[in-house]
Chain A
Amino acid sequence: MNIKSESLSRRTFLRGTGVALALPWFETFAAGAPSSDETPKRFLSVYHPDGVGIPLKSDPAWKDWCWFPRGGEKDFELTKVLDVLQPLRNDITIYSGLSHPAARQVHGHSNADQYLTGAPIGGSGPYQNSISLDQVYAEYAGDFTRHSSLVMSTNGGVGGPRGAQTQSFNREGRPIPAMNKPKEIFDMLFVTSGKDAAARLARSKSALDLLTDHTRSLARELSSKDQETLKQYLDAVRDTELKLAKAQKWIDTPIPKVDTRNLHLNAEPKEAKLYFQTMYELIYLAFLSDSTRVATFQLGRENGEGPHDLLSLAVGLGGAHGLTHEVKKPNGWKNLGTYNRYQAEEFGRFVQRLKDTQEPTGKGNMLDNTFAMHGSASSSFHLSRNYPIISAGGKNLGFTNGRYLKFGKGNEDNQAGAGIDTDSGWQGKVQVEELPLAKLFVTVLQRLGIKTDSFGGYTGSLSRV
C-alpha cells in the first residue's frame, strides 16, 4: 500500500528513484520537554468486540435500538442504547463515518488487532502489525510515570494473530500482553517491591561505566575527526545513564497509597458487574496516583466463546457474541442494544468519576485532562466500517464535547450495512465514503503534545474535532 503515491510530487521523485529515506527512529518526537510536574495528559481506550446494533430504518427497532444517535451535530438525540450517557452529554463526543481503510473488507472478527494501529493485517496468511496509538503516546508520556502504560483485557495475554486480546502493540508491531486479573494488576501498581529491578539497574550501571571508560581510551587513539563520530556513541551511553537514573528514582520513590474500598480484587469476568467496575476502578486509581498516563482495556475478544464472553451476564443476557447473530430473532435488536447500553453505562460511570475528582496537581477535574475513547472495529454484524466511537473529556487538551460528529459522505443516517446478518454484508463493496480513523489518532496525538502529522501511513488530522 502506498498511500502517498498520488501526491508524490515530481520534485520528491526527482531526488531519486530509490529516494534516500532518512527514517528517524521516532525517539524525540514530542514538542519540547515538559517536566513531570506539569498537569498530566492521559489517554484511555476501551474496546468492545462484535460491534453494535444498526437496524434498517424500516425496522420498528430502529427508533430505539440503533446505536448511533439521531439528528445533527449539536441537536442529536440519543437512543435507548446510549441514553445512559445523557447526564454526560456535554462531556462526550460521538463519531460516525470513521474506519481503517485496509480493514473495510476484512471480516470484523479479525480486526480488533488493528483498531488502535490501522495496520493492513488482512484476513489470512502472514501477519504483521504496527505500533498502536496508546504506545506512541506511552513512548513519550512513560518517561514521567512509574509505568509507561497499563494494558488490560478481560481475556488477558496477547490472543492470536487476528484474534487479539490486547489493543496495544509495540514499535515492532508485536502485541503487548494484557493483564486480566485485578489482584495482579493491583499488586503491580501498588505493591511490587522492585528488588530485582534494583539489582538489574546496578548491573547496567557497572556495564555503562566500563563502556564509557573503554570508549574514552579508544578515543585517545583516534583522529580528531573520528573522535567526533565516537562522541555520538558516548552521548548514547550518557542518555542511557540518564534513563537508568530515572528508573532508579522510581525504585526509590515510595509506592502510592490508594483507597481500595471500591475494589473487588478477586472478581472474575463471570461476575460481570463487579469485574467491570473493579477494572475501571484500577484505571482510575492508576491515573489518580499518576502511576501511568496511558491505559487500554479490551472487553472480551472478537468471536468470543466461553467464560470471557459472559460480560453480558451483567444484564442477564447470554454470550455477547451470540447477541450479534441473533438480531433478527424476537427482541434481538433490543438484547444487543441492552448489552451495548450496559457497556456505555460502565464507561459513563468511569467518566463521571474522573469528572468528580479534582485534578491532584493541576487545573480542573481529571476528566478535563483525559481523553477517553470507547469503541469497536465493527459496527453492524462483522462489518468493519463506520466504527461506533465515543470519546469523553479532554477539555484542557482542546476537545469540545457535546457533539455528534459525522464524517465521510453518503451515510449520514448510518444505513449503509444496516440490518445485515450474513457474511455477504461485510464482504460487500464499499459504497459510501468514510475517513481514515488514523486522522482522529493524529488529532489525539497532537493534543496530547506529540509533534506528528501522520499515523500508520496516513497524514493529516481531523477537522471539527
Chain B
Amino acid sequence: MKTLKFAILLVLAFAIPVAVSQETPITLEAAKEQGRNKSRYLKETKAAADTSDAIPKANVATFQKSVQPILIKSCVNCHGPKKAKGRLRIDQLNPDLLTGPDVEKWREIFNAISKSEMPPENEPDYALSPTNLGSIVDWLSEELNKASLVRRNSKEHSSFRRLTKYEYDYALQDLLGLPYALANKLPPESKTEDGFKNNSELLQISATQFETYREIALKALKRATVSGERPKAVTYIISMQQELDKASSAKNAKTFDKSEASYRKNKNQQHLFNRETGKGVLFSSLNSMPQAKAVAGQIPPDSQVALVLPEGKELKLNLDRYLPDEGIMRVRIRAARSSMNPDEYASLRLILSAHTSNNADFSEVISSRDIPVTASDDKAQWIHFDVPLNDVQRNPFRKLATTFPRRDEFLHIRNVSNATVGEDRLKVLIDYIEISAPFFEQWPPKTHTNIFFESDNKHDEKVYGREVLNRFLRRIWRRPVTSQEVDKFVALFAKYRPEFSTFEDAMVEVLATALATPEFLYLTQRATADDKKSPAKISEFELASRLSIFLWSSIPDEELLKLAEQGKLRKPEILSDQVKRMLADPRARRFSQNFVEQWLGLDGLNSVTHIPAGPLKEAIQEEPIAFFEEVLKHNHSVMDFIHSDYAVVNERLAAHYGMKKVYGPHFRKVPIAPEMNRGGLLTGAAVLAMNSDGKDSHPLKRGVWMLKRILHDPPPPPPPDVPEVDLTNPEILKMTLKERIADHRNKAACASCHSRIDPWGIAFENYDALGVFRTHINNKPVDATSELFNRQTLAGMDGLKRYLLTDRQDQFARAMVHKLTAYGLGRPLTFGDRAEIDNLTAQFRRRGDGLRDLINLIVNSNLFNSK
C-alpha cells in the first residue's frame, strides 16, 4: 500500500483545536463530551445502511455534477497529468465504485480526508470550502458503502475454521469436567498482523498435530473415567498439637514462653504456639508419613496449638516418597488470621520440591492460585487445594530401591502476604493439615458418570453403548445426531470391544476417535438450500457454537443447545438474556483474557526481558484484562480505554504507580486524580513496558502500537530500499533515542512514513521502560511534545488523550467494533464487511459507546448470524 499525498487543502470545520490552549484546558472527561458531539455517526440523519436485497447502483451522476469539478480544481495539480504524487492520478480514477477497479484508492482517499491528513495544511492555495468538502465526503461514504454491500457476497473469507489451541483446551476441560490444562502438547498458534490467533486464514492442521489431538483426547478421557474399585488414598495428617510436643522435646529445640522478654522477638518468627500454656517453639519443617488408618475429610476438634506463619515464610513438609503417581492431591488446611487489620492480607501457596543430589534440585509452584486467608482466629476456615499429580514435576527417583539419589518430595506451604512491618503484624495460623491422594469427591467421580451415566440399559452393552455415543456425539458436535451417524461409531466399538477387558476401556478408545472428528475440532457451517439467498444465515446450533466460542472460548453448554434445538436462540430478547448469562459465568473471564491479550498484543511482554518474573510482572500483565472486565461489567463507554478517571489495580501495581492505600493482590477500581497521570489503557505499564527496548522508552514502537492496536490504522511495512539506522556511525551512537528517530525521520526516504508514526510515540515520552512517570531524562526535562502529520500538536500524554477524545472518537469506536467483530467471527474483515461495520458503529455510538452494548450489537448483527 502506497501512502497517498494529495494537495487538497482541507479545513475541517472541527479540526482546529491547536490554538485554543490559551485558556485553562478542559478536563479530559469534558473532552469526551465535546468529542462525542462531533461524531459523524451521530450526525448522520439517514437510516442505517440499507442492507435489503435491492441491488444498489453507482451514482456517477452526482460525481460528475458536484464532485469531479472540485477534484479538478483542488487535487489534479498534484495528482494528475503534471504530477502524480504518491503515484495517484485522481483524474484517471473510475467513479463507479461498484464495478470499477479503483475502490481501494477511493477508500484511501476517504480515510486520508477523515484523518485530516489531506490536504496538507501548508498548501492554502488548494483550500476547500466546507461545502465542497461535504460534497466529496458525502458522495464517497455512500458509494463506498454500496460497493461494500455488493462485495459482501463474494465470500472472500469464511468463519469455517478449527478451534485454536486454547479453545480446544477449554472445550475439552468443559466437556470432561477436568479443570486444568490438557492441550499443552499442541504447538502455539500464529497471529495475524492484527494480533488475532483465531483467524480462519491461519489455523492450519498437520499430520503431527492431528496425531497429537488423538493422543491428548485419549489421555484426557482416561483421566476422566475410572474402572474397578475406588483406589485407596494415601493420607497424611499433621496436627500442630503433636508437632509441638515433638518439636519441644527435640534436642536443640528453641522453645520460649509468652511471659519471657524474648517473646516480643519470637512472636514474629515462624513458630508453633500453645495459646493455653503460652509456650512456643521455633519451627519451620517437619517429616510426615502416611497413616494407614487415616480417613481424609474429617473435622478435628479445635486445637489450642497453631503454627504461626509470618509473611514470606513457609512450612516445609517432607512427605517422603509415598504420594501416588496420578490423581488429584487434595491439601486441606485449617487456617485463620492472627489479626483483622483490613489493610493486611495473607494467602497460602503450595510449592513442591525435591533435592535429589547436590546441584540437582527443583521447586515448582503447584497451586493454580493463591488462596486468601480471611477468617478470624475464633472462626478458622478450611482452605483446600486440588493439585493434579500427573502434571507437576515429581521426584523421578521416588521409586528407587536405594537411597541415592534422594527419593523424598517436599510440600511447602507459603504465606504470601503484605504484612511486613509492625509489632503485631498479620500472621497465618494453621492448626491442622491433611494431604490425601488420589482424592475423589465421590465414586465413581462425576467426570466418569458424565460419560458413563446411569441407565436401565447398562446391562446391555449394545444398547447402552449406543446411548453413550448418542449423548457424547451430540455434545461434542453441538447438534442433534442421526442414528446413521451413530452407527459408524457403534461399529467401531464392536470392532474394538474384544480387544479390551472392559466396556469402558473399549468405549474410551472410540470416544477419543470421536474427539478427532472435524466437527469437534472445527467450527462448521453447513450449506443449506437457503444459501442462495444472501447473506445466508447460520443455523441456530451454529449460532450457539459461535456464541460460546466468542464469550467462553469453548463449546456451548446444555442450555444453549436446548434453546437452539427449540429454535429460540436467535430471538433478540432470548439472545440478550443468554449474553447476560454467559458474561456472568466464570467462563467469560476467558473472553476478557484472550480478547485483550490478542487485541493489545500482551504477549509482547514476554519478549522484553527487563521485568523479572514475579508479582509486578503478573500485575502488569493482568491490569489491562482487569480494566477491560471492569468496563465490561458496568457497560462503561469504550472511551474509558483512552482515558478514565479511575484505575484498576492491586497493591503491587498501585505501589509501582505511586498510588497509596491499595492493599491486597486482587484488582479493584480506584479513583485517580489527574496528577497521577494514569487512567485508561495507554498509560498502563503493560503497553508502556512491552513497547520499550528493555532499557528505555521506544517512541517508534509505541507509535506503531498506537496506530495498529488503538486506531486500527497500521502503518505500511517499510519499503525494501530504505536505509537502516547505522549504529556503527559514531555520530548516531551519540544521539538520544528521540534524536536518532528524528535524524532518521529527516531522511527523505523515511520521512513520509515516520512522520505518521513517530509523533504518536513521542507523546508517551513521560513514561519510562517500566511505565513509571518521569519529568526528567538524564537531568533534562522530558520533551514529549510532538506534531502530527496534520499539524496537530500533541502535548504529551495529556495532549494525546485530549486529541483522541476530541477529534478521533469515531475512529477509535470503529476500531473497537472492527476488532471485536473480527475476534467474534474468527476471520479477517474485508471491504465487503465495511458497510456492516459502519452500520454497527453508528448504532454503537448512538447507544452511548457501552462495551456490553457493543457485544449485544455484534451478536445480533447480520455479520454474526451469517456465514
Contact = CB atoms under 8 A, between A and B. Distances in A.
Nearest to A240: B207
A301 B357 CA distance: 11
A21 interface: yes
A221 interface: yes
Interface in A1-52: 1-2, 5, 9-11, 13-18, 20-23, 25, 27
Interface stretch (A93-101, A222-230, A357-365, A432-440): A222-230
Contacts of B195: 16, 18, 20
A172 B509 contact: no
B360 A110 contact: yes
B601 A221 contact: no
B191 A20 contact: yes
Nearest to B613: A126
B359 A218 contact: no
B496 interface: yes
A5 B207 CA distance: 33
Interface stretch (A209-217, A258-266, A454-462): A209-217
10 contacts: A13-B700, A18-B604, A27-B208, A109-B358, A110-B360, A125-B364, A160-B354, A206-B492, A211-B516, A243-B207
B499 A17 contact: no
A230 B405 contact: no
Contacts of B184: 172
A302 B356 CA distance: 11
Interface of B: 155, 158, 160-162, 184-185, 187-188, 190-193, 195, 200, 202, 204-211, 214, 354, 356-365, 393, 395-397, 402, 404-405, 485, 488-489, 492, 495-496, 499, 509, 513, 516-519, 521-522, 524-527, 531, 601-604, 607, 609, 690-691, 694, 700-701, 704-705, 708, 715, 717-718, 724-725, 867
Given A14-B718, A211-B516, A306-B404, A233 B360 contact: no
Interface string A93-133: 00000000000000111100000000000011111000000
A229 B158 contact: yes
A305 B404 contact: yes
Interface string A149-189: 00000000111111100000000100000000000000000
**Residue from A107, A160, A223 having most chain B Cβ neighbours under 10 A:** A160
B705 to A, nearest CB: 5
A240 B193 contact: no
B470 to A, nearest CB: 15
B400 to A, nearest CB: 9
Contacts of B700: 10, 13-14
A229 B158 CA distance: 9
A211 B213 CA distance: 13
A5 B693 CA distance: 9
Contacts of B526: 221-222
B356 to A, nearest CB: 4
A240 B499 contact: no
B391 to A, nearest CB: 12
B396 A159 contact: yes
A197 interface: no
Given A11-B717, A16-B708, A233-B521, 14 more contacts: A2-B609, A13-B700, A16-B704, A25-B187, A199-B499, A207-B509, A211-B517, A215-B518, A218-B518, A232-B205, A239-B206, A240-B211, A303-B358, A306-B404
B524 A222 contact: yes
A127 B364 contact: yes
Nearest to B212: A25
A239 B207 contact: yes
B191 A223 contact: no
A57 interface: no
B474 to A, nearest CB: 15
B187 A163 contact: no
A451 interface: no
A416 interface: no
A1 B517 CA distance: 39
B648 to A, nearest CB: 22
Contact of B193 (A16, A27, A157, A239): A16
Contacts of B488: 210, 213-214
A236 interface: yes
Nearest to A109: B359
**Residue from A14, A18, A20 having most chain B Cβ neighbours under 10 A:** A18
Contacts of B724: 9-11
Q: Which 6 A-B pairs have the closest CB atoms?
A: A18-B601, A163-B360, A239-B207, A109-B359, A160-B356, A236-B210
B499 A223 contact: no
A23 B360 contact: no
B294 to A, nearest CB: 29
Contact of B396 (A21, A158, A214): A158
A302 B513 contact: no
B395 A160 contact: yes
A201 interface: no
Contacts of B708: 16-17
A214 B718 CA distance: 47
A179 to B, nearest CB: 15
A237 interface: yes
Contacts of A127: 362, 364, 393
Contacts of A409: none
Contact of B522 (A18, A223, A230, A306): A230
B160 A162 contact: no
Given A23-B188, A223-B158, A162 B200 contact: no
A203 interface: yes
A162 B361 contact: yes
Contact of B363 (A16, A126, A218): A126
A222 B527 CA distance: 5
Contacts of B208: 25, 27
Contact of A160 (B185, B362, B485, B499): B362
Nearest to A127: B362
Contacts of A11: 717-718, 724
B397 to A, nearest CB: 6
B210 A237 contact: yes
Contacts of B158: 223, 225-226, 229
B492 A223 contact: no
Contact of B191 (A18, A225, A230): A18
A230 B405 CA distance: 51
B517 A215 contact: yes
Given A21-B191, A163-B405, A126 B362 contact: yes
Interface string A48-86: 000000000000000000000000000000000000000
Given A20-B191, A218-B519, A207 B492 contact: yes
B206 to A, nearest CB: 6
Contacts of A221: 526-527
Contact of B725 (A10, A20, A108): A10
A223 B867 contact: yes
A207 B358 CA distance: 49
Nearest to A207: B513
A163 to B, nearest CB: 3
A23 B190 contact: yes
A124 B363 contact: yes
Contacts of B705: 17-18
Given A13-B701, A306-B402, A206 B715 contact: no
B489 to A, nearest CB: 7
B360 A15 contact: no
B362 A161 contact: yes
Contacts of B404: 305-306
B362 A124 contact: yes
A209 to B, nearest CB: 9
Contact of B604 (A17, A161, A223, A229): A17
Contacts of A10: 700, 718, 724-725
B711 to A, nearest CB: 14
A125 B361 CA distance: 8
A266 to B, nearest CB: 19
A380 to B, nearest CB: 16
A47 to B, nearest CB: 15
Contacts of A226: 158, 160, 524-525, 527
